[in-house]
């Protein structure tokens, strides 16, 4: 029966293969036309964040990267609105550029935010994925001159390294002329110089080869503030540690050796944490993940602390304070601890807000205390 049913559906053919007259031949189906993927365009209104004045209005904006590029060009040239045809020419030529992000990062003096509450957008955000419908209002403000984080770090770390060495070698015009280019008779002074130099050389190398920054730039004024802090304290510490009248710690070699162990232990721990944090973020991305302990024992402190890099940094300077028994070093350690506590609390709150499963046992910087 199945065979007969199949033959019944086939058109009857003569012996020569031609279809028998009176029988119908099924029509061939035409291939379905491929539907073109709809392209969603947006209308974007750009307002000044302070005055709320309309700077320009953009229509047919395809994605957020084109919008940023257009906005940056618009802002850095004049406040006269571009014509629609010129904007569309920019869109047509820039939209498919692979290295578009690198092009608009040069315009780092523009901070742009979305919605009335001023929620900042990320570089990788796409306009189609934002809850703005087909019409969006953006606010932007001028951050002023910017400078890269790498430049700031290299400048603020190279300064203390060179300044300390100037006091260590007792260059002229620092101490009395009879002490020019003389060396201290206390071996702890030479050890302190090696530890201080090691610390800042490590920081410089980490800036170049380890750290991956989530933000490309910071305000230019920060470099003056940061350099004043690091360079000023370095000069203050170096002046007293390398002074001809400097006296060694009261407990002698035992205190110095204990301090050296603490310093080196914390330096290794700090480097281990920086490596662990680096491995959490793939190159070129801004992905944020919860840091967890690795096979490296120095990272096990992640079980109790959100920012162990600051914990180890504090331990290093406590060790240096114990080694030199110098008041300016203690002052630098205290001020640094206060600042790192502020940073650690901010990062801890960010972790709790971003990750619902973030370990609640962790403290910002000091286990079970702070």
- Mean pLDDT across 33-53: 70
Closest CA to 303 of 353, 365, 348, 359: 359
Q: Are 217 and 343 part of one and the same domain?
A: yes
pLDDT per position as a tens digit, 263-309: 999 999 999 999 999 998 877 677 788 999 999 999 999 999 999 99
Q: Is the pLDDT of residue 72 over 90?
A: no
Q: Which two tokens stand for residue 41?
A: 């365009």
Q: Are 44 and 166 part of one and the same domain?
A: no
- Mean pLDDT across 65-72: 46
The pLDDT assigned to 287 comes to 76
Q: Which two tokens stand for residue 115?
A: 């919605």
Q: Are 171 and 135 part of one and the same domain?
A: no
Integer CA distances (angstroms), 123 to 51, 57, 65, 113, 345, in order: 25, 21, 8, 11, 25
- Mean pLDDT across 352-362: 92
Q: Which residues of 218-236 are buried (b: 16+ CB within 10 A; e: fewer)?
A: beeeebeebbebbbebbbb
**Calpha distance 111→116 (Å, rounded):** 15
Q: Which residues of 241-256 are buried (b: 16+ CB within 10 A; e: fewer)?
A: bbbeebebbeeeeebb
Q: Are 305 and 319 part of one and the same domain?
A: yes
Q: Largest Cα–Cα distance of the chain, in whole Å?
A: 125
Q: Is the pLDDT of residue 106 over 90?
A: no
Angle at 322 between CA 317 and CA 326, to 5 degrees: 90
The pLDDT assigned to 154 comes to 95
Residue with the bigger pLDDT between 241 and 15: it is 241
Lowest-pLDDT choice from 6-10, 15-19, 226-230, 271-275: 6-10
Q: Are 170 and 246 in contact (CB under 8 A)?
A: no
Q: Which two tokens stand for residue 299?
A: 């990272």
Percentage above 70 pLDDT, the chain: 67
DSSP assignment of 125-184 equals --GGGSS-TTEEEEEEEE--SEEEHHHHHHHHHHHHHHHHHHHHTT-TTSS-GGGTT---
Q: Are 225 and 132 part of one and the same domain?
A: no
- Mean pLDDT across 346-356: 93
State which of 87, 112, 142 marks the end of a domain: 142
Has residue 268 been placed in a domain? yes
- Can you give the residue range of the structural domain that contains 46? 40-74+128-142
Q: Are 136 and 199 part of one and the same domain?
A: no
Strand 135-142 relative to strand 119-120, pairing: unpaired
Q: Is the pLDDT of residue 237 over 60?
A: yes
Specify which of 71-85, 89-103, 121-135 reaches the highest per-range mean pLDDT. Answer: 121-135
Q: Are 189 and 137 part of one and the same domain?
A: no
- Mean pLDDT across 216-245: 93
Q: Are 272 and 179 part of one and the same domain?
A: yes
Q: Is the pLDDT of residue 331 over 50?
A: yes
Q: Are 77 and 87 in contact (CB under 8 A)?
A: no
Q: Are 69 and 171 part of one and the same domain?
A: no
The pLDDT assigned to 212 comes to 84
Across the chain, mean pLDDT equals: 79
Has residue 154 been placed in a domain? yes
Q: Are 48 and 162 part of one and the same domain?
A: no
Q: Is the pLDDT of residue 329 over 60?
A: yes
Cβ count within 10 A of residue 356: 6
Q: Which two tokens stand for residue 200?
A: 């800042």
DSSP assignment of 323-342 equals HH--HHHHHHHHHHHHHHHH
Q: Which two tokens stand for residue 34?
A: 């491929």
Domain count, the chain: 2
Q: How confident is the model at residue 171 (pLDDT cuts 50, 70, 90)?
A: very high
- Mean pLDDT across 67-76: 45
Specify which of 12-21, 115-124, 236-245 reaches the highest per-range mean pLDDT. Answer: 236-245
The pLDDT assigned to 4 comes to 42
The pLDDT assigned to 34 comes to 62
Q: Where residue 67 sits, what CATH number does that domain have?
A: 3.10.20.90
Lowest-pLDDT choice from 6-10, 146-150, 176-180, 233-237: 6-10
Given the structure tokens 């491995």, which residue do they identify? 279
């Amino acid at each position: 029966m199945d065979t007969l049913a199949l033959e019944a559906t086939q058109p009857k053919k003569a012996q020569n293969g031609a279809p028998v007259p009176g029988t119908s031949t099924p029509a061939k189906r035409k291939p379905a036309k491929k539907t073109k993927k709809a392209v969603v365009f947006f209308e974007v209104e750009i307002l000044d964040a302070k005055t709320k004045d309309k700077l320009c209005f953009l229509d047919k904006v395809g994605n957020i990267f084109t919008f940023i590029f257009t906005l940056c060009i618009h802002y850095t040239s004049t406040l006269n609105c571009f014509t629609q045809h010129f904007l569309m020419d920019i869109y047509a030529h820039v939209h498919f550029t692979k290295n578009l992000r690198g092009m608009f990062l040069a315009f780092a003096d523009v901070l742009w935010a979305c919605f009335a509450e001023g929620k900042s957008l990320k570089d990788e955000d796409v306009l189609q994925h934002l809850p703005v419908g087909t019409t969006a209002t953006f606010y932007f403000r001028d951050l002023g001159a910017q400078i890269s984080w790498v430049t700031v770090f290299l400048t603020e770390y190279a300064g203390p390294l060179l300044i300390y060495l100037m006091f260590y070698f007792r260059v002229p015009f620092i101490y009395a002329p009879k002490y020019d280019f003389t060396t201290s008779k206390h071996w702890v002074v030479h050890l302190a110089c090696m530890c201080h130099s090691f610390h800042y050389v490590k920081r410089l190398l980490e800036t170049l080869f380890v750290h991956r920054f989530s933000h490309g730039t910071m305000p230019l004024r920060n470099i003056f503030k940061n350099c004043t802090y690091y360079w000023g304290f370095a000069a203050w510490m170096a002046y007293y540690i390398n002074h001809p009248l400097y006296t060694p710690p009261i407990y002698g070699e035992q205190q110095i050796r204990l301090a050296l162990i603490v310093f080196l232990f914390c330096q290794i721990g700090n480097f281990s944490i920086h490596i662990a944090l680096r491995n959490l973020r793939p190159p070129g991305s801004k992905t944020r993940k919860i840091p967890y302990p690795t096979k490296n024992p120095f990272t096990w402190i992640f079980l109790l602390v959100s920012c162990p890099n600051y914990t180890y940094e504090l331990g290093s300077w406590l060790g240096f304070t114990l080694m030199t028994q110098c008041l300016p070093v203690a002052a630098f350690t205290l001020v640094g601890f206060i600042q790192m506590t502020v940073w650690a609390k901010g990062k801890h709150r960010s972790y709790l807000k971003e990750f619902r499963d973030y370990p609640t046992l962790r403290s910002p910087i000091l286990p079970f205390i702070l």
